[in-house]
Amino acid sequence: MLSRRELLARAGAGFGALAFRGLAAADAHFPARAKRVIFLFMHGGPSSVDSFDYKPLLLRDTGKPLPFAKPRVVFAQTGNLLRSPWDFKRHGASGLWCSELFPNLARHADKLCVVKSMHGSNPAHGGACLKIHTGSDTFVRPSLGAWVSYGLGSENRNLPSFLTINPSTDQGGAQTYGAGFLPAVHQGTRLEKDGALLDAKNPELGPAVQRAQIDLLRELRERRPSDAGADARLESFELAFRMQATALGVMDLSNESAATKAMYGIGRKPTDAFGRQCLLTRRLAEAGVRFIQVTHGGWDSHRTLRKLHEQRAGEVDGPISALLQDLDNRGLLEDTLVIWGGEFGRTPVVEL
C-alpha cells in the first residue's frame, strides 16, 4: 500500500509526459515553416519612430512638452516632442508605413511584418543587448541562435549550425552568441566583419597534427565518459577540422555573378561591406546553416540622429532588399525567418 505522498513522488515524473502528449496532439494554429533564421542586428538602436513605426500625432505635437512623466532613470536630458525628420508613405497592397530612409526595403512591404508592441526594460546598451539576445540582462542564458541550433540541429555536418558575422565585442560581448547552459557546440561561431573565419587555417598545424589533437581528445573522453565538457571540446575540434574543407568554399564570393554582386551593392560605397555580409549570409543559408546573425553597428545617434541614421540606413537598405529578393528567387524565403532590429530605439523627444 502506497501513501498519497509516495504515489505522487513515484508518478510525478509522468505528469510532464502527459502534458506534452496533450500539447503534441493539439493542432497547431499555423503549421511551422521556418527551417532557418537570419538575424540582422542593428547595434546601437535604430529608431522605430523614424523607420517603420509611423506616429502621425508627432506631426501635430512636435515641439510640445512630453505628455507623460519621464522615466525615473535617464541617460541624457530630454526636451520636447520631436517629429521624425523623414516623411512616411504607405507601400504595397498592405499599405505598410515606411519612412523614406528605406526606399528599397519599402518595395518588399508585403513580405514584412512589423512588430510594434515590443518594449525594452533596460536603457543601457549592454544590458539591452543581453536582453534581446538571451532574454535576460541579469543571468547567463543561452542566446537565441544557440536555442535554434539546439532545437533544429544542423543541416550540414561540416558547418556550424550557428554563425555570427561581425558580432560586438563589448556591450554584451560573447554572451550574445553564447550557449549558456546548453552544450557548447551550440554557441555561435564568430566570423570577422569581412566574413573571414577566425583561424580557419593555421599554417603551423597541418592535418597530421590536428588529427593527433582530435585523437588525444577522444582518448581523454573515453577515460572520463561522464565529462560533458570533454564531449563539447571533441565536437568543436572535429567540426573545426571538417570546416577547413567546406567553409572556405562557401565563403568565397568570387564565383558569384557580376549581376548578383551589383544587386547587393558590392564594389561601391556605402554598401560594399554590408552587401558582402548579406551575400555571404545567403550562401550560408543555402549551405544548411540554421541561424546566421549579421551585426551592423553605429546606430547610437543621440544628437546626430539625422546624420547617422541617413548614413547607416544607406549602408543597409539596398543589401537587405537584395537579400530578401535573392532568397525569394531561390525559394528560400518561404522557409526562412528574417529578423531586423536593434536593442532599442529612441523616445520621441529631442535630446538637449
Q: pTM for the full model?
A: 0.84
d(CA 232, CA 179): 11
DSSP state of 194: T
Q: How many CB atoms lie within 10 A of CB 67?
A: 8
pLDDT band at 216 (very low <50, low <70, confident <90, very high): confident
Cβ 125 vs Cβ 300: under 8 Å? yes
The radius of gyration of the chain's CA atoms, rounded to the nearest angstrom, is 24
Of 141-145, 179-183, 191-195, the poorest mean pLDDT is in 191-195
Which helix (DSSP H) or strand (DSSP E) does residue 291 occupy? strand 291-296
Q: Quick one: pLDDT at residue 156?
A: 87
Task: Give residue-wise pLDDT tens across range 86-137.
Answer: 999 999 999 999 999 999 999 999 999 999 998 888 889 999 999 999 999 9
Cβ neighbors of 210 (< 8 A, separation 6 or more) are 237, 241
- Whether 229 has a pLDDT exceeding 70, the answer reads no
What is the tens place of the pLDDT at every residue in 64-79? Answer: 999 988 877 777 788 9
Please state the rounded mean pLDDT for residues 261-283: 96
Task: Give the closest residue to 266 by CA, choosing from 333, 206, 323.
Answer: 323
